[in-house]
């Protein structure tokens, strides 16, 4: 799997924190420079037509519309709880 991320955007940071906390190791991370508008390039729009970050590309080349759908079932509940807590903080 490959996660398209950004070092300055808040949404990818939340995903990266979760990945680190759960010691998920099989995800390649590519940081996009949003200051240089790399998330607006035609190449990235093929991955994420809405230009949003993060985006997850599954090993078979499909783009994950919902990152939760591609993580192990046992982690989904924890992720949803964590995201709910983060939403309350924002």
Q: Report the C-alpha dihedral over residues 73, 79, 80, 86, rounded to 10 degrees.
A: 180
The region of weakest confidence among 7-11, 15-19, 59-63 is 59-63
> In the β-sheet with 28-31, what is the strand arrangement from edge to edge?
28-31, 2-5, 55-57, 63-64
Confidence of residue 35 (pLDDT cuts 50, 70, 90): very high
Reply yes or no on whether the pLDDT at 65 is more than 60. Answer: no
Which residues form the domain of 42? 2-89
Number of folded domains that form the chain: 1
Reply yes or no on whether the pLDDT at 43 is more than 90. Answer: yes
CATH number at residue 61: 3.40.30.10
Which of residues 21 and 39 earns the better pLDDT score? Answer: 39
Reply yes or no on whether the pLDDT at 13 is more than 60. Answer: yes
Q: What is the pLDDT of residues 18-28, one digit of tens each?
A: 788 778 777 89
């Amino acid at each position: 799997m490959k996660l398209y991320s950004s070092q300055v955007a808040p949404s990818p940071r939340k995903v990266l924190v979760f990945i680190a906390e759960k010691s998920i190791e099989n995800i390649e991370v590519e940081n996009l420079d949003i200051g240089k508008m790399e998330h607006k390039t035609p190449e990235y729009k093929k991955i994420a037509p809405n230009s949003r970050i993060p985006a997850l590309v599954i090993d078979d080349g499909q783009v994950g519309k919902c990152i939760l759908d591609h993580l192990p079932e046992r982690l989904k509940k924890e992720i949803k709880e964590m995201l709910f807590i983060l939403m309350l903080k924002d």
